[in-house]
């Protein structure tokens, strides 16, 4: 994403970029979910769960997915997607297209109704998977698989920060649109 659709949302995006740079980029020696090593780590959970950033994240992500018709819900693999989906859901109530949220468990429950997808009824509905950031795309694709088993129609994966480490290619190879609000250039970081 190079810019948001309105000056107000772009101001939110720029403010979020500054917060990420100041508080969510950690330098050191890290192992990513892919097993690869990195010299920095973008810890978006620090901000998706922060009162200063969450409302803006909701507005930014809602703007990012706004051009996709027929979406009724957003969510993804727990834990990273949960606060993003909730932020989008809350911000969407201010629009003429309110969205519901869902949570995809890593595994189906072994009790109760045995569900893997909780929250909004997704059967037969167009949905978007959200994530804070993605290295390989595998978390998003695991959520997509569970959603498809529930009869949902996932159409896109939308991330706050695109690490440019292969997730986009994996998501697009699965037939889904890839959307990112912020990329490494915005953060002044080089791909790893």
In-domain check, residue 2 = no
In-domain check, residue 1 = no
**What CATH number did the domain enclosing 146 receive?**
3.40.50.2020
Q: Residue 109 annotated as binding? A: yes
What pLDDT is attached to residue 189?
96
In-domain check, residue 56 = yes
Share of the chain above pLDDT 70, in %: 96
Q: Residue 163 annotated as binding? A: yes
Please check whether residue 96 is in contact with residue 45, taking contact to mean a CB–CB distance below 8 angstroms: no
Reported as a single tens digit per residue, the pLDDT across 130-157 is 999 988 899 999 999 999 999 999 999 9
Q: Residue 165 annotated as binding? A: no
**Residue 83, both tokens:** 């606060």
Give the pLDDT band (50/70/90) at residue 70.
very high
In-domain check, residue 73 = yes
For residue 188, pLDDT beyond 80? yes
In-domain check, residue 192 = no
In-domain check, residue 153 = yes
- Structural domain range at position 42: 7-187
Reported as a single tens digit per residue, the pLDDT across 74-128 is 999 999 999 999 999 999 999 999 999 999 998 876 666 668 999 999 999 999 9
For residue 56, pLDDT beyond 60? yes
Q: Residue 131 annotated as binding? A: yes
Q: Residue 177 annotated as binding? A: no
Across all residues in the chain, what is the average pLDDT?
A: 94
Q: Residue 136 annotated as binding? A: yes
Share of the chain above pLDDT 90, in %: 85
For residue 1, pLDDT beyond 60? no
What pLDDT is attached to residue 114?
63
In-domain check, residue 105 = yes
71-77 and 126-134 strand pairing: parallel
Q: Residue 6 annotated as binding? A: no
Q: Residue 134 annotated as binding? A: yes
In-domain check, residue 171 = yes
Q: Residue 133 annotated as binding? A: yes
Q: Residue 34 annotated as binding? A: no
Q: Which three-class secondary structure string do you get for the chain?
A: CCCCCCHHHHHHHHHHHHHHHHHHEEEEEEECCCCCEEEEEECCHHHHCCCCCHHHHHHHHHHHHCCCCCEEEEEEECCCCHHHHHHHHHHHCCCCCCCEEEEECCCCCCCCCCCCEEECCCCCCEEEEEEEEECCCHHHHHHHHHHHHCCCEEEEEEEEEECCCCHHHHHHHCCCEEEEEEEHHHHCCCCC
> Structural domain tally of the chain?
1
């Amino acid at each position: 994403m190079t810019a948001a659709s309105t000056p107000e949302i772009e101001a939110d995006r720029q403010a979020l970029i500054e917060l990420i740079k100041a508080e969510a980029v950690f330098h050191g020696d890290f192992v990513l979910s892919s097993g690869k090593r990195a010299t920095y780590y973008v810890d978006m959970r620090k901000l998706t769960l922060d009162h200063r950033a969450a409302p803006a994240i909701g507005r930014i992500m809602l703007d990012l997915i706004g051009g996709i018709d027929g979406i009724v819900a957003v969510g993804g693999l727990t834990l990273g997607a949960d606060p993003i989906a909730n932020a989008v859901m809350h911000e969407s109530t201010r629009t003429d297209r309110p969205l519901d949220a869902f949570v995809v468990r890593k595994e189906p429950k072994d009790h109760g109704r045995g569900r893997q997808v909780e929250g909004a009824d997704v059967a037969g509905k167009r949905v978007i998977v959200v994530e804070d950031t993605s290295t390989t795309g595998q978390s998003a694709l695991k959520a997509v698989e569970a959603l498809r088993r529930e009869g949902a129609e996932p159409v896109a994966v939308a991330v706050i920060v695109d690490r440019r480490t292969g997730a986009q290619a994996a998501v697009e190879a699965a037939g889904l649109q890839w959307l990112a609000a912020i990329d490494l250039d915005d953060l002044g970081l080089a791909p790893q």
